[in-house]
Amino acid sequence: MSPTASDSPLPQAQANPLLKAWQTPLETPPFHEIAPEHFLPAFEQAFADHSAEIAAITHDPATPDFANTITALERSGKLLSKVTAVFYDLVSAHSNPAILEIDKEVSIRMARHWNPIMMNAVLFGRIAMLHEKRAALGLTGEQMRLLERTYTRFHRAGAGLDEAAKARMAEINERLAHLGTTFSHHVLGDEQDWFMELGEDDRAGLSDSFIAAAKADAEERGMAGKAIVTLSRSSVEPFLKTAARRDLREKVFRAFTARGDNGNANDNNAVIVEILALREEAAKILGFPTYAAYRLEDSMAKTPEAVRGLLERVWKPARAQALADRDAMQALIAAEGGNFALASWDWRYYAEKLRQAKANFDDAAIKPYLVLDHMIEAAFDCATRLFGITFEERKDIPVWHPDVRVWEVRDREGQHKALFYGDYYARPSKRSGAWMTSLRDQQKLDGRVAPLVINVCNFARGAGGEPSLLSPDDARTLFHEFGHGLHGMLSDVTYPSLSGTSVFTDFVELPSQLYEHWQEQPAVLQKFARHYQTGEPLPEDLLERFIAARKFNQGFATVEFVSSALIDLEFHTQPAAASRDVRAFEQAELDKIGMPAEIALRHRPTQFGHIFSGDHYASGYYSYMWSEVMDADAFGAFEEAGDIFDPATAKRLHDDIYSSGGSRDPEEAYVAFRGREPEPDALLRRRGLLESAEAA
Ligand SMILES: [Zn+2]
């Protein structure tokens, strides 16, 4: 956004860049012209346009058919999609107090706009009638899927309810929208409020690259010359892994796990209680015993029991492995002459020591070889070798922050395919985590529309002209988000609502997690992992140790993830009244599953944005693991072919998974790619937990 725009008087509608045709290259959003005050008037206009389009479909006197109802719905809301995509990109990746204030208003307005559409009885009547006689409509496979998805979406939103129930649903949705926004603002608030300055005495164990990043973080917050730890995961995790000062590790760990739970204005406990009660009420209105039953009906897993089955199968061997690792770390502490019990803030630190002792490998040794720019190249190169697409950086595309880079993506024939925006560095205006989103989705309903795909990460910047160096986890995250990016960029469907990542939540992590596998292949690392100073390739023995070390500490990683997934499931299967005291509920659940005291949830409830910032992952956090069953199995297809870029396998992967979006049933798409159902043990094998599973 232009820094001077807010000084100008309120723009007239015709001057609002969100409402004009975009004259930028490839009609990308003109971020340099967009200011916060443009959003509310643009949303007003977009809501009005969309409502008029919906009214025209609803009141069309012609007999409902696929074209005048389903296709017409797909064509509606173009302006709204456009404004929404730009707005939420800024809310997440580059917000400011003005944007966050507008976000509060927009979330409620959005609910108020969508409620009457999703519960429009006349419109639903048309959709239901078409759905009823769908077999006789002569539809293509994609059209059939679209009709089924549209019907399901309206039905599940409550379009078939009586008026009183609909009115209550509308109130609930509006309130939930407000609460979700509040939840994420609270977490962001606690993250922005906190930092810990690192004096000279506080830096034992910390790498030069960590200090450089800590200085960059300080500078970003107006404390040039100092070095700070922040509550961004990319600051906290390396600190906990390497800081020798136990007291400081405890301080950082406590602040990190207390986000949203500090009894201050950002406290999320009451927000959670209200969200859970409203979700339960909504599920009951819609005829489901629990919110989890409601949500999972529309997923690959289908039922809470199926989810619990998967999580419990993984939990036992993971816990056994974690307890064995804990004992080994406690022995290490004793051997060093330490006289204390391993605590949560010690785990990452001693796990690193143990890894050095056992596998003679630590993250710090490999970091100088994982230069951000080279890892981006590696991600691109794998996509070129698998799918034939190429990347060329463009400097003429407007961006929302100077750090953002843009590449033009072309297909095998050299035709324009997509734009890829990469926003890699952490900054205070960005929420934590890493994600993929889009400014425009692929579709070809009325001519080809090329997607504008975004990856946002929170990597530490290199300081003083040094390149940014990634940890192995960061490098994996880069490939993960790029895998989602490919799902958006390679999408080749007709209808916008089936585009790219518009698939079940428990399928959406397959393209991303599968892509991580290429990052850890020797052939890829040999080519792209080069020392940032000398340009030397990763030495052979370090490479081998790196790959072997991948399976290290998987008990911990699996325990912290699965416990979070189980708590998510329990929040949404038990009566909401059971979790009125969120902390007590959390503790009771941890006791129930035998959570090792030395491991914390990956996301404690008050910071669990996946499930409380919105409903996308609510009772869906297990999805990562559900997808992992498939990705661990799917990469096996390349291994069996004897070539990690095997062209025939890559073509099936493209056709059945990456390009088909939501146009097919996911199970059917997977079986088409693999020739069979996924084999569940692949997940345990990949995590090195198969032996513990057999022993458990
Ligand atoms: Zn993901």
For the chain, percent of residues with pLDDT exceeding 90: 86
d(Cα 176, Cα 111) in Å, to the nearest integer?
9
User: Tokens 């190249």 correspond to what residue?
Assistant: 377
Neighbours of ion ligand 1 (CB under 5 A): 509, 512
DSSP assignment of 340-392: S---HHHHHHHHHHHHHHHHS--HHHHGGG-BHHHHHHHHHHHHHHHH--EEE
Expressed in angstroms and rounded, the spacing between residue 436 Cα and the centre of ligand 1 is: 8
pLDDT band at 694 (very low <50, low <70, confident <90, very high): low
Rounded to an integer, the average pLDDT of 470-491 is: 96
**Paired tokens of 363:** 């993250």
Across the beta sheet with 390-394, the strand order is 390-394, 405-410, 416-425, 452-459, 435-440
Residue type, 594: G
Higher pLDDT, 8 or 163: 163
User: Tokens 């489901």 correspond to what residue?
Assistant: 288
Expressed in angstroms and rounded, the spacing between residue 204 Cα and the centre of ligand 1 is: 34
Higher pLDDT, 657 or 546: 657
SS percent in the chain: helix, strand, coil, step 5: 60, 5, 30
Q: How many residues are present in the chain?
A: 696
Rounded to an integer, the average pLDDT of 107-121 is: 94
Under the phi-then-psi rule, with left for phi > 0, alpha for psi from -120 to 50, and beta for the rest, what region is 553?
left
Expressed in angstroms and rounded, the spacing between residue 192 Cα and the centre of ligand 1 is: 24
Expressed in angstroms and rounded, the spacing between residue 50 Cα and the centre of ligand 1 is: 30
pLDDT at 8: 42
Q: What confidence tens digit (pLDDT) does each residue in 313-364 have?
A: 999 999 999 999 999 999 999 999 999 999 999 999 999 998 888 877 777 7
Residue 361 and residue 548 in contact, taking contact as beta carbons nearer than 8 Å: yes
- Burial of 676 from C-beta contacts in 10 A (0-12 / 13-18 / 19+): exposed
Position 693 pLDDT exceeds 90: no
Residue type, 565: A
Say how far residue 318 (Cα) sits from the centre of its chain: 24
Under the phi-then-psi rule, with left for phi > 0, alpha for psi from -120 to 50, and beta for the rest, what region is 592?
alpha
Expressed in angstroms and rounded, the spacing between residue 430 Cα and the centre of ligand 1 is: 18
Residue 87 and residue 39 in contact, taking contact as beta carbons nearer than 8 Å: yes
Whether 481 is catalytic is yes
SS3 (DSSP) at 576: helix
Residues sharing a CB contact under 8 Å with residue 196, sequence separation 6 or more, in sequence order: 228, 229, 248, 251, 252, 255
Q: How far apart are the first and last CA of the chain?
A: 56
Residue 31 and residue 399 in contact, taking contact as beta carbons nearer than 8 Å: yes
**Paired tokens of 694:** 């057999």
Expressed in angstroms and rounded, the spacing between residue 435 Cα and the centre of ligand 1 is: 7
Position 3 pLDDT exceeds 60: no
From the CB of residue 592, how many other CB atoms can be counted at a distance below 10 Å?
Answer: 10
Range scoring the smallest mean pLDDT among 136-150, 288-302, 409-423, 540-554: 540-554
Expressed in angstroms and rounded, the spacing between residue 505 Cα and the centre of ligand 1 is: 10
Position 9 pLDDT exceeds 80: no
pLDDT at 11: 46
d(Cα 28, Cα 438) in Å, to the nearest integer?
11
Rounded to 5°, the CA angle 411-417-423 comes to 115
Position 68 pLDDT exceeds 90: yes
pLDDT band at 564 (very low <50, low <70, confident <90, very high): very high
Residue 512 and residue 481 in contact, taking contact as beta carbons nearer than 8 Å: yes
Range scoring the smallest mean pLDDT among 12-26, 107-121, 372-386, 617-631: 12-26
Position 480 pLDDT exceeds 70: yes
- Which H or E run includes 406? strand 405-410
Q: What confidence tens digit (pLDDT) does each residue in 69-79 have?
A: 999 999 999 99
d(Cα 117, Cα 54) in Å, to the nearest integer?
7
For the chain, percent of residues with pLDDT exceeding 70: 97
Q: What ranges in 414-539 are assigned the alpha helix state H?
A: 472-489, 505-519, 522-528
Position 5 pLDDT exceeds 50: no
Residue 601 and residue 176 in contact, taking contact as beta carbons nearer than 8 Å: no
- Closest alpha carbon to 361 in 608, 546, 111: 546
pLDDT at 544: 87
CA dist list (Å): 597 to 325, 452, 590, 600? 13, 45, 9, 7
**Paired tokens of 579:** 């979790």
**Paired tokens of 250:** 């405890």
Q: What confidence tens digit (pLDDT) does each residue in 117-169 have?
A: 999 999 999 999 999 999 999 999 999 999 999 999 999 999 999 999 999 99
pTM: 0.89
Q: What value does the mean pLDDT of the chain take?
A: 94
Expressed in angstroms and rounded, the spacing between residue 480 Cα and the centre of ligand 1 is: 6
3-state secondary structure labels for all residues of 630-681 = HHHHHHHHHHHHCCCCCHHHHHHHHHHHHCCCCCCCHHHHHHHHHCCCCCCH
Of the candidates 53, 481, 586, 589, the residue annotated as catalytic is 481
Q: What ranges in 158-290 are assigned the alpha helix state H?
A: 163-193, 208-220, 233-242, 246-257, 269-285
- Closest alpha carbon to 242 in 357, 341, 348: 348
Expressed in angstroms and rounded, the spacing between residue 305 Cα and the centre of ligand 1 is: 23
Position 432 pLDDT exceeds 90: no
Expressed in angstroms and rounded, the spacing between residue 384 Cα and the centre of ligand 1 is: 21
d(Cα 258, Cα 524) in Å, to the nearest integer?
39
Residue 589 and residue 567 in contact, taking contact as beta carbons nearer than 8 Å: yes
pLDDT band at 695 (very low <50, low <70, confident <90, very high): low
Say how far residue 50 (Cα) sits from the centre of its chain: 28
Rounded to an integer, the average pLDDT of 395-407 is: 98
pLDDT at 2: 40
**Paired tokens of 566:** 């189980």
**Paired tokens of 471:** 């940890």
Q: Which residues of 161-188 are buried (b: 16+ CB within 10 A; e: fewer)?
A: beeeebeebbebbbebbbbbbbbbbbbb
Residue type, 466: E
Q: What ranges in 133-201 are assigned the alpha helix state H?
A: 141-157, 163-193
pLDDT band at 473 (very low <50, low <70, confident <90, very high): confident
DSSP 223: -
Position 304 pLDDT exceeds 90: yes
pLDDT at 14: 59
Position 12 pLDDT exceeds 70: no
pLDDT at 682: 87
- Which H or E run includes 483? helix 472-489
User: Tokens 């990460």 correspond to what residue?
Assistant: 457
From the CB of residue 233, how many other CB atoms can be counted at a distance below 10 Å?
Answer: 18
Expressed in angstroms and rounded, the spacing between residue 493 Cα and the centre of ligand 1 is: 21
Position 52 pLDDT exceeds 50: yes
